[in-house]
Structure formats: structure tokens, C-alpha cells
Amino acid sequence: MRTYFWLCFLGIFHLAYGQHQPLLYNVDDLPQALMLNPGSQVDLTGHIGLPFLSQIHVSAGTSGVSIYDIFRDDGSDINARIRDATHKMNSYDHFMINEQMEIITLGWKIDQKNYLSAGIYQELDLFSYFPKDLAILANEGNNDYMNQTFDFSQVAFTGEIMTVYHLGLNHIFNDKLSLGVRTKLYAGVANVESTGNTGLFTTYNNQQGTNYYRHVVENMNFRLNISGFERFQEETDISAKDVATHMLKGSMFGGNIGVGADFGLSYQLSERFVATASVLDLGMMFQRKDVENYLYYGSYETEEVEPLFPELDENDQAISYWNVFEEIEANLKDETLEEAYTTWRPAKFNTGIEYSFGRFYPPCDCLTETKVSYKNRLGMNLSGVKRPRGLIYSFTSYWDRKINETQRFRVAHTLDHFSMLSLGLMYSARINKFNFYIAANNLLAFPDLGEAHGASIQMGMQLLFKD
């Protein structure tokens, strides 16, 4: 039971670093920068992404413990390691996975002030807080925790798979200000969420009652909403083709739908300083099709059950307690409904400031007006993503270096909930009009991901067009 519980959490979530993509933020000659800030300064006349290859992004992380903390082979007892890990973490520690893949993307310069971009991408996002009290109760029982309350409100998780159709406009307002907006249509494939739960469970010493203990459940109200899974629950023989067909149908607006928007700006404070900001995925999903809700609620108090398992009486016979379950069932109700519900997308924000230096002189073309360009950029970026209990932040500082007209790299250091020393590297190269980039965060963790709290990697290929 203990090992299974931790496999459910760490075995699933040991891959993701988060949704922040600081290595591509404000990179003016990569169109992916427009997905992080639709108001970003753009140094392109057009772009066409290679289908399914223009951006692939995978990130994941755990803020409390790593796979190695639980499953290391050092001769120690795994149950002791699980207990140590459980007590080391708190209910705000979290696990998350985010994956994005661009299916189609393209953009073109309409005139001297406007750049239009559009595309389709697929996204998977999983997030869960660590339910510490529930983990202790599942792993150790309550025998050693008399008069201590277990809080079921710590259970909070979300997950979704969707396809996003988007259209964005980047507008140069004047010499200093660029503004951008992107509208989004969400096509939901599957969703699961359980947030806003309540419930307290306490076992008290009670020498005066019919048993040694008094168990109290107060205001239990647990709700699990899911959509997109009902068909697979009803059918026992599901093939890979059935799953693919179901996902394709949802991606083509055959499932649930939603709407959202991104907003961004860039402001040139001086010739060398630029400030940027963006808010992404201000939107919601309307879960109306293929919906199920599982509810478990009520309160009860009993003095007839042992802490976890009944001990033997003086005649070495188990104390009877099955009749109490009828009383529990009468007070804790469970229901299965098919009520529509609405979910909010995990909104994200970015703010940044960048300083440029080291004048860059491209090859002279007397027929083309060339704007001032610099080889080096030093920048800072503060990012956040909205989760059920509030914002989760990360702070990145970076050095961006343009090697020549066709190559550049970025070295970054990120501080977040997963690591205090996360080093990242991005490299981009262009051959004629073909561009390739690759970026990875927390490079020091890649030799042994089992010990890492997080890591991310992204890459892409596209055709870029410039004046």
C-alpha cells in the first residue's frame, strides 16, 4: 500500500518542471516568443512551422522529494524512506507535468505595423498538491495520531488534455510600444478535477465509551468531476484505435469547448532597455458532454471502531465492528451525477526587463533600412501560473548572445519551487530560411533524472522569413 501510494505520485509526476518557458521568452527572431508574449518585438516578415515539429515541449517536477529519495538502493528500509519522505513534505508541495506540441503554426507581416500569427497546438497539463494528511493515514493508519485531525481539504488536483486553435495580432503602436492579443478556442479531449474539498477526521481517546476510541468525521464534502472518460468506462474491450479516434473527435470540437485569450506588450524604455509583460490563457472550459461527478459527503461520530484495524479481545477473538458500517453509510453519502461544470484554465503571467549592449553590425545592404541591433542581452523574467491554492512563481536571469546573423544562444539561471540552482541553455541556428532550436532547463539534473526535482526540454523546426 505504501509503495503503491508513492508510485501513484512520483512514478507519474517525476518528469515535469512546470509550464514556464523562460529560455524562449522575448527571443525576437523565434515565432514561439509570440506564444509567450503576443506583444513581443518581432524581427520577422513571416514564418511557417514544420507540422508537428515546430515546437515540442515537455516539462515536469516535484517540489518535495525525488524518485531517488524513495527508491534508492542503499540497503535502508523502503518503509522508513517513505515515512521520512511523507513527513518531509507539506500540503503545499506539488507535482506537475506539462506537454505541448504545435501541430500547425504560421505567421505573416501584414504591413509595417501588424504581424498576424495563427496555429493549432495540443496540450496536456497535470497538477496535484501533496495530500500529506491522507498520505500519513494511508501509510501509517491513525493509531499513533490520537486526538490529531486529518484534513481532507488537502486533496486538490487537476488534469486536462486539449487542442487549442489560436489567432493572434501583434501591433506596433509607436516607436516605443508594441501590443498584442491572441484569441483561443479550446477543444477539450478529457478533463479531471477535484478542488475545494472539505472534511476533518479525528480519533479521540475515550475510556468512558464502549470502545477505547471515538471517531469523528466532520463536514466531509469531496467532489470529483471528470469528462471525456465515460465511453471507456462503459466498454471493456478498448483498442488503441478507439482511444485515437476519441481523442481526434475531441480535438475537432466533438467534445467540450472553451474560449480564452492572451495579452502582451513590449515597451522600449530607452535604446538599450525594454520592458515586457504578458498574461496568457485567460479562459475557461465548458464541460457539458460525457460528464460524471462523484460525490462523497456527510458527518458521523462513533465509539465502536478501533483506530485502523480491530485488535484481539481477551479471548483472542476479533472485536466485532461490521455493524458500525451501516451507521457510517447512513451518515456519509455517495452519489454519482451527470452535472455540467466549468473549469478555468491555469492562467499564466510573465514580466521582464532586458538590457542590450555590444553593437551588432550585420552585412551592409544599402537598399534595406537596418535598425540598431546588439550582440548581447542581459535580462530578468518573473513568471507565474495560477493553481487551485494560488500562484506558483519562478524567477529567471539570463544572458542572450547573438553569435552572428544566423546563430544565437541563451544561458539562464532559474529559481523556483523545484530548485535553487537550475541552469538552462538555448541554441538557435538558421540555414538559409530553415531554423532549428533546442532548449533545456536544469541541465545539471540530466545525468540522473531520478535524483532531479524537475527538468524540461523543448525543440522545434520552422521556416523563417526576414527582410
Q: Which of 370, 382, 353, 375 is nearest to 273 (CA)?
A: 353
More confident residue, 95 or 398: 398
More confident residue, 68 or 355: 355
User: pLDDT of 362-397, one tens digit each?
Assistant: 665 555 555 678 899 999 999 999 999 989 999 999
Strand bridging mode 114-129 / 390-402: unpaired
Q: Judge contact between 362 and 370, C-beta under 8 A.
A: yes
Instruction: Compute the average pLDDT of residues 253-281.
Output: 93
Using alpha carbons only, give the angle 227, 232, 235 rounded to the nearest 5 degrees.
145
Whether residue 317 has pLDDT greater than 60: no
User: pLDDT of 268-281, one tens digit each?
Assistant: 999 999 999 999 99
Q: Of 67-71, 137-141, 212-216, 259-263, which gets the smallest average pLDDT?
A: 67-71
Task: Tell me what pLDDT residue 308 has.
Answer: 46
Give residue 64's pLDDT band: very low, low, confident or very high (50, 70, 90): confident
Q: Which helix (H) or strand (E) holds 436?
A: strand 434-441
Task: Tell me what pLDDT residue 125 has.
Answer: 95
- Cα torsion 31, 35, 41, 44 to 10°: value is 20
Continuous H helices in 89-186: 132-140
Domains (range + CATH), the chain: 2-465 (2.40.160)
**235 secondary structure, DSSP code:** -
Q: Which helix (H) or strand (E) holds 194?
A: strand 177-194
At 422 the three-state DSSP class reads strand
Give residue 77's pLDDT band: very low, low, confident or very high (50, 70, 90): confident
Residue 26: which residues within 8 A CB-CB, separation 6 or more? Answer: 33, 36, 37, 40, 41, 266, 274, 276, 352, 354, 379, 381
Can you read off the three cell numbers belonging to residue 388?
A: 487551485
The widest CA-to-CA distance across the chain, in whole angstroms, is 103
User: pLDDT of 155-204, one tens digit each?
Assistant: 999 999 999 999 999 999 999 999 999 999 999 999 999 999 999 988 88
More confident residue, 68 or 307: 68
Q: Of 162-166, 227-231, 401-405, which gets the smallest average pLDDT?
A: 227-231
Residue 73: which residues within 8 A CB-CB, separation 6 or more? Answer: none
Ordered DSSP codes for 356-394: EEEEE-PPP-TTS----EEEEEEEEEEEEEEETTEEEEE
At 117 the three-state DSSP class reads strand
At 450 the three-state DSSP class reads helix
Task: Tell me what pLDDT residue 232 has.
Answer: 60
Mean pLDDT in the chain? Answer: 83
Task: Tell me what pLDDT residue 53 has.
Answer: 93
